Chain A
Amino acid sequence: MTTAPPIDLSPRLSSLDPNVFDVPTGREVEWKFAPLAAFSRFFQAIEGAGDIRATHENEYVRNVPISDVHSSWLPTDRPLAVARSLVRNAVVVDVPREQVIAEPIVVQLQGAGDTSYQHVEINVGAFSSAVLVIEHDLDRDICGALVVNVGDGAKLTMLSVVDGATDAVHLSGWHTTTGRDSTFIGCAVTLGGGFVRISPSVTYAAPGGNAELLGLFLADGDQYLEHRIFVEHEQPHCTSRVTYKGALSGPGSHTVWVGDVLVRRGATGTDTYELNRNLLLNDGPRADSVPNLELETGEIIGAGHASATGRFDDEQLFYLQSRGIPEIQARQLVVRGFFAEVLGRLNDDTWRDAMMSRISVRLGLATQESNNE
């Protein structure tokens, strides 16, 4: 575990103007882990970059000109501000109020050329309930935002999948605002890409909001996967739960998990807990884990964090093997079990099973590698 720098308590800089943000040098707290060379092209405008579009439109999903988007969200770093200033298309998911959508809404995103900017805007109307699955495009480098507004009393379960056998750069900032007594469950499944940096953040617009940020990631080869969470409790009686689990294999893989939770003075009755567990499948990978909790009030229900990075437990392996299960299969069982806690939180069996089978495919490769050490 890396020593946590204190969270900057001042309000986050936010602007539509990219030049308000300095060009990162790598010395900033936010960029200290990342291989800057991989992401730096997104610090400046990229000529001829394409736009992310939804491949299929339906009653909930549309492609619209960015000028039609009127949300109050503002970029909070330079790459997001550059992307926001240049993106022309927005993918909008609108769930009207007081609707319970039984079937998951599946959004397949696709860019153009070798680089695309992204703007996805999701609005779930008051007292509605929906499950949203977003499949990201990993055939090209992507940079942009995913803005979520969950209305009063509404519930959104969102699964965001970054999977594909490419070495693409994927830079994505999520920003979720929850309404009164609403619930947001956002799960990042990060399996593919070469250099991935996902920054989910949550703010509460009214009391009684609940946010559950889930994540699972699997890094092998030379993958760099970073998840940087920021939860800002400003309203009373809100909850946050952050549960991220990662598995790493291969000497060149590197994952970073940063969980910043800030409980402001007025956020009495807050209940927050964050957890990150990383499982090293063999020697060599590097997992950085930085939980960080800042409390400006003591009038809360609970606040805690836990972080642990451990090696694969050889006693588990022995136990399973002593029951006749071959080593590779035994390793897969243990890793699948490790991820089961996160996937079990998704109240959708179909997608849970689908994600588990994708993990198995990736694990088949990862565990074979680890077996060949």
Chain B
Amino acid sequence: MGSLVLTDLHASVITDDGELEILKGVSLTIESGTTHAVMGPNGSGKSTLAYVIAGHPKYRVTSGSITLDGVDVLSMSVDARARAGLFLAMQYPVEVPGVSVSNFLRTSVTAVRGEAPKLRTWVKEMKESMVALQMDPSFAERNVNEGFSGGEKKRHEILQLSLLNPKFAILDETDSGLDVDALRTVSEGVNTFRDQSDAGVLLITHYTRILQYIKPDFVHVFVDGRIVTSGGADLATALESQGYEQYSPASA
């Protein structure tokens, strides 16, 4: 059993007006095999939480810690974190012109697994993963995220999730911009990954919609840079009917 542990995490972003604190003391423990949903209103800092765990250089951690199976994550480079078993499915994956999906995936898988997969088994593995996500084989020849629709981008993120097989996956607003069919397909991809591994999942979302497909074990309400309350899956149901207003700093 492994764990991803965030302890009193504070992080800031550098803006034109100086340093702005966004994470104001986040403590969260995710055990292997469990799924946590972090829900919060726009601007609460929940996406920042995802980026800080992945190591985006835009953010500076001012205090607190992140450990993966007891090992300090904050001292690792972005790529070392991925090789250690962290994965972030991004809300807005960037285009990488001129780099094909197949080249990108193979390079990535080689880096994370520590050795290049054998070509024959690799092609089969990639195709099977793509079929499971209802992706056309021609997808592999396209440039990374270039001209992808919103749904294609998210499928591509989940395709990477299934191939890289991380210990802990952070899904940042994976449901945004998806129609019902695409949401179902993407959710099935995540569920297959959960069933076939013992990974921990941190699901960051604004809406409860995706939680109908991906059942969380724990739900945390995230407001103004910190977790304000935690509970089981039923907390999401309550949020659905009552919204975030009761947790906003103004009404506290």
| A324 touching B77 in the complex, CB below 8 Å, given contacts A333-B99, A333-B104 | no
Cβ contacts A323-353/B at 8 Å (1 or 0 each): 1111101100110111111000000000000
Contacts of B95 in A (CB 8 A): 316
CA–CA, A337 and B56, complex, Å: 22
Residue of A nearest to B160 (CB): A323
CA–CA, A209 and B54, complex, Å: 53
Contacts of A63 in B (CB 8 A): none
Within the complex, what minimum Cβ distance (angstroms) separates A243 from chain B?
Answer: 13
Among listed B33-41, B107-115, B184-192, B218-226, interface-contacting one:
B107-115
Cβ contacts B90-108/A at 8 Å (1 or 0 each): 1001111111000110011
CA–CA, A340 and B83, complex, Å: 28
Within the complex, what minimum Cβ distance (angstroms) separates A323 from chain B?
Answer: 4
Within the complex, what minimum Cβ distance (angstroms) separates B5 from chain A?
Answer: 20
| A327 touching B79 in the complex, CB below 8 Å, given contacts A314-B57, A318-B57, A337-B143 | yes
Contacts of A329 in B (CB 8 A): 107, 111
Contacts of B90 in A (CB 8 A): 319, 322
Within the complex, what minimum Cβ distance (angstroms) separates B114 from chain A?
Answer: 9
- A313 pairs with B107, CB closer than 8 A: no
Pick from B77, B83, B103, B108: contact of A327, CB below 8 A: B77
- A322 pairs with B97, CB closer than 8 A: no
- B79 pairs with A326, CB closer than 8 A: yes
- B94 pairs with A324, CB closer than 8 A: no
- B82 pairs with A336, CB closer than 8 A: no
Within the complex, what minimum Cβ distance (angstroms) separates B13 from chain A?
Answer: 14
Q: Does A315 contact B (CB under 8 A)?
A: yes
Pick from B79, B93, B96, B98: contact of A324, CB below 8 A: B79
Pick from B57, B98, B104, B160: contact of A341, CB below 8 A: B98
CA–CA, A333 and B102, complex, Å: 13
Contacts of B103 in A (CB 8 A): 333
Q: Does A307 contact B (CB under 8 A)?
A: no
- B111 pairs with A337, CB closer than 8 A: no
Cβ contacts B71-92/A at 8 Å (1 or 0 each): 0000001110111000110100
Contacts of B160 in A (CB 8 A): 323
Contacts of B87 in A (CB 8 A): 322
Q: Does A275 contact B (CB under 8 A)?
A: no
| A333 touching B96 in the complex, CB below 8 Å, given contacts A318-B57, A323-B111, A324-B111 | yes
- B79 pairs with A334, CB closer than 8 A: no
Most chain B CB neighbours (cut-off 10 Å) among A333, A336, A337? A337
CA–CA, A17 and B73, complex, Å: 71
- B79 pairs with A325, CB closer than 8 A: yes
Q: Does B22 contact A (CB under 8 A)?
A: no
How many A residues touch B, CB cutoff 8 Å?
24
Within the complex, what minimum Cβ distance (angstroms) separates B19 from chain A?
Answer: 19
CA–CA, A327 and B76, complex, Å: 13
Q: Does B164 contact A (CB under 8 A)?
A: yes
Contacts of A330 in B (CB 8 A): 79
Residue of B nearest to A245 (CB): B98
| A316 touching B98 in the complex, CB below 8 Å, given contacts A321-B82, A323-B82, A323-B111 | no
CA–CA, A253 and B94, complex, Å: 29
Most chain A CB neighbours (cut-off 10 Å) among B79, B94, B99, B111? B79
- B98 pairs with A325, CB closer than 8 A: no
Most chain A CB neighbours (cut-off 10 Å) among B55, B83, B94, B112? B94
| A315 touching B94 in the complex, CB below 8 Å, given contacts A321-B79, A322-B88, A325-B79 | yes
Residue of B nearest to A338 (CB): B98
- A324 pairs with B56, CB closer than 8 A: no
Within the complex, what minimum Cβ distance (angstroms) separates B128 from chain A?
Answer: 20
- A322 pairs with B99, CB closer than 8 A: no
Q: Does A320 contact B (CB under 8 A)?
A: yes
CA–CA, A319 and B172, complex, Å: 14
CA–CA, A339 and B81, complex, Å: 29
- A334 pairs with B99, CB closer than 8 A: yes
- B98 pairs with A321, CB closer than 8 A: no
Cβ contacts B191-233/A at 8 Å (1 or 0 each): 0000000000000000000000000000000000000000000
| A325 touching B111 in the complex, CB below 8 Å, given contacts A318-B56, A318-B57, A337-B143 | yes
Q: Considering the complex of A and B, which 6 residue pairs feature the smallest CB-CB distances, nearest first? A: A337-B98, A340-B98, A324-B82, A324-B111, A323-B108, A321-B78
Chain A residues within 8 Å of B, Cβ to Cβ:
313-316, 318-327, 329-330, 333-334, 336-341
A and B contact pairs by CB, cutoff 8 A, 18 listed:
A314-B57, A319-B93, A321-B78, A321-B82, A323-B82, A325-B79, A325-B111, A326-B79, A326-B111, A327-B79, A329-B111, A333-B103, A333-B104, A333-B107, A334-B96, A334-B99, A340-B98, A341-B97
